[in-house]
Structure 1
């Protein structure tokens, strides 16, 4: 499992121009089971994605499809985690 922290590298007006395409990217990978959670940072300096992938290489290939990556709008900091505890409603994540 991976925590992806995006930090915008350009003004929000530039980011906003790609929001519809970014949402389509997110939707595609939610449908494929690659993403579990995502949202904006507060304050709005970027976002966070909780993702599953077979490998770091597979995750990198997925993230390269993001228009924020393609257009160099955001920096991506990726942390791999091995979940060992979870709330009862999230036990399925402990695979």
Structure 2
């Protein structure tokens, strides 16, 4: 499982120009079953993603494809978490591991 932090960077002012592509990138991650949660970092610091069912190299490639990352609207940091215990509602995170099926 991974947490991706997308914190605003030097080109933050250009976010509007790349927003449509960024939203399409997010939707692909959701459609592909890689992104579990996507939201904003508060207050107005950027965005965060919880991802699973992928490997670190594959996730890094996916993150590099985000127009916000490519255009330096955000800086990306990927944190890998090895789940050891979960609430029963998210047991699938333990069952799948970090690399997915």
TM-score (norm 1): 0.88
Counterpart CA distance in 2 for 1:10 and 1:19 is 16
Unpaired runs of 5+ in structure 1?
none
CA separation of 1:53 and 1:64: change in aligned 2, threshold 3 A: farther
Matched, 1:45 2:45: yes
What's the counterpart of residue 84 of structure 1? Answer: 84
Unpaired runs of 5+ in structure 2?
96-101
What's the counterpart of residue 63 of structure 2? Answer: 63
CA contact (8 A) 1:22 1:68 kept: yes
What's the counterpart of residue 75 of structure 1? Answer: 75
**Which 4+ residue blocks in structure 1 deviate beyond 3 angstroms?**
10-13
Q: Could you say what the CA RMSD is over the residues aligned between the two structures, in angstroms?
A: 1.5
Aligned residues: 95
TM-score (norm 2): 0.83
